[in-house]
Amino acid sequence: MPHKPQYPLSRRGVLAHFAAAAVCGDATRGVAAAQPAANTTISEMAAGPIFSRGGPEAERYGADDGYPVPRSPGERQKGNPWDPKFRVGAFSHLDEIYPTRKVDQAVAPWAFDRSAREIRYRFRGRASSLSDYLSRNPVTGLLVAKDDQILFEQYQYDRTDRDRLVSQSMVKSITGILIGIAISDGAIRSVDDTAETYVPGFKGTEYGKTPIRDLLHMSSGVDFGEERDGGRDLQRLWRDMVTGGWIFGKGTVNSLAQFNQRIAPSGTRFSYASIEADVLGMVLRHATNRPASGYLQDRVWGPIGAEADATWLLDAEGFELAHFGFSAVLRDYARLGRLLAHDGAWNGRQIIPQQWMIDATTVRPSDAYLAPGRAMPTFGYGYLLWLLPGSRRQFAFVGSYGQRICIDPLSKLVLVQTALDDPHGEVWQLWSALVDQFGAG
């Protein structure tokens, strides 16, 4: 990473507790309504990004030790989630812990404009500002944009706009986007094709027999216990594909294919399983015959004018891990959100097919089990995207420990958050308030 300037100032856990706490869109009109600010703090009205050395419980998150990066073999083997002391360092320096592949910035970066706005909302019956929000939540970066205008941008825990911040599971949504582009390119014929159509090593396996559509919906019907027995299956996958791959020598495809027990017909029930993004990652690699990083760079990162290099974690065979390990600067996440807010178009150029974006973020009548309140207590599920409740089409990239990109296509409103944890699920109340205040089309 570049030298940071000085300023004066789970994988585990599939976020089930967030669903209970979350309230979004039409479901909370009046509960978290945005209101004009009587006295807005300097942070909320600043023209440029704000940088803070501390944050909530900064000592717990390693401030006294300079927010250390976990470098010991034991910490590397353990992986995510790191102890709180190491999260700031690990979540912003993943490419110093594991092998990664670079996604080059655009040759001609595209710049946001800025328009500072007053933002207030209600949380647990009390008026709140963004300063209040940041004082309660261990957020490393928070950005709100409406189309090409940044309304707010602030960093905590001595992070800056030069730090690449880890996506956690938000990278699954990037994988889904690349599948859509590969279909438009003709590299993949249809979401109705099975995984084994493209990956010979999946031939005859349960994942191999599963249609791409059902993998995108995390409804393969193959048994994978994301959180069962303390995340045993996920840890096994991490060990076999990433940290212990050179010891066990299973290889990526065999590491995935070892989970081979079908417990339901595909396309009939939602069950969050990180492995399904990894299966799709192998479909993408074999269909395009390109590393996912290069495909992303050429088809998305460059065209949207990304201002900084991103990195993507590699497994033991050198394949990008499709369920974890992508890192980027906050404004580039916002550029990605803006692309999706325009249903795949960027300044008049269609980068992701519009129909793909509609299909990815709506539920067909035949897939009612994926609807908000059915797939999860509050949320629904699209093509590796979380669907928010209410009559208005809204969706989100979601990663554990508070990583979010929330998108409202009608108003082109985008919220980006990177964090160390999400103890209250408050981000959803904030998002609802933002849509209330800035959501006019």
Q: Over the stretch 28-54, which tens digit does the pLDDT of each residue have?
A: 333 333 333 333 343 455 568 999 999
Residue 290 within any structural domain of the chain: no
260 part of a folded domain: no
Residue 81: predicted pLDDT: 76
Total domains in the fold of the chain: 1
In a domain, 346, yes or no: yes
Task: For helices 330-341 and 170-185, give the axis angle rounded to 10 degrees.
Answer: 50
Encode burial over 26-39: b for 16+ CB neighbours within 10 A, e otherwise.
Answer: ebbeeebebeebee
Q: What is the CA radius of gyration of the chain?
A: 20
**Is 421 a member of any domain?**
yes
Q: Is residue 105 part of a domain?
A: yes
25 falls in which pLDDT band (50, 70, 90)?
Answer: very low
Q: What is the pLDDT of residue 118?
A: 87
Residue 28 placed within a domain: yes
Q: How far apart are CA 272 and CA 275, in angstroms?
A: 9
- Is the peptide bond prior to 8 cis by the omega test (within 30 degrees of 0)? no
Q: What is the pTM of this model?
A: 0.90
Q: Which two tokens stand for residue 177?
A: 């986007």
Expressed as residue numbers, the domain containing 334 is 20-172+327-438
pLDDT digits (tens, 9 = 90+) for 240-295: 999 876 666 789 999 999 999 999 999 999 999 999 999 999 999 999 999 999 99
Helix (H) or strand (E) holding 90: helix 84-92
Q: Work out the mean pLDDT of the chain and round it to a whole number.
A: 90
- Taking residues 341-365, what's their average pLDDT? 98
CATH number, domain of 36, equals 3.40.710.10
Rounded CA separation 191/195 (Å): 10
pLDDT of residue 246: 62
Q: Is residue 200 part of a domain?
A: no
Q: Is residue 309 part of a domain?
A: no
Using DSSP, state whether 422 is helix, strand or coil. Answer: coil
Q: Hey, what's the torsion of the CAs at 60, 63, 65, 66, to 10 degrees? A: 150
Cβ neighbours of residue 230 closer than 8 Å, sequence gap 6 or more = none
User: Are the C-beta atoms of 357 and 343 separated by less than 8 Å?
Assistant: yes
Q: Are 384 and 277 in contact (CB under 8 A)?
A: yes
Looking at the chain, the whole-number percentage of residues with pLDDT higher than 70 is: 88
Beta partners for residue 395, in sequence order: 387, 407
What stretch of H or E contains 173? helix 170-185
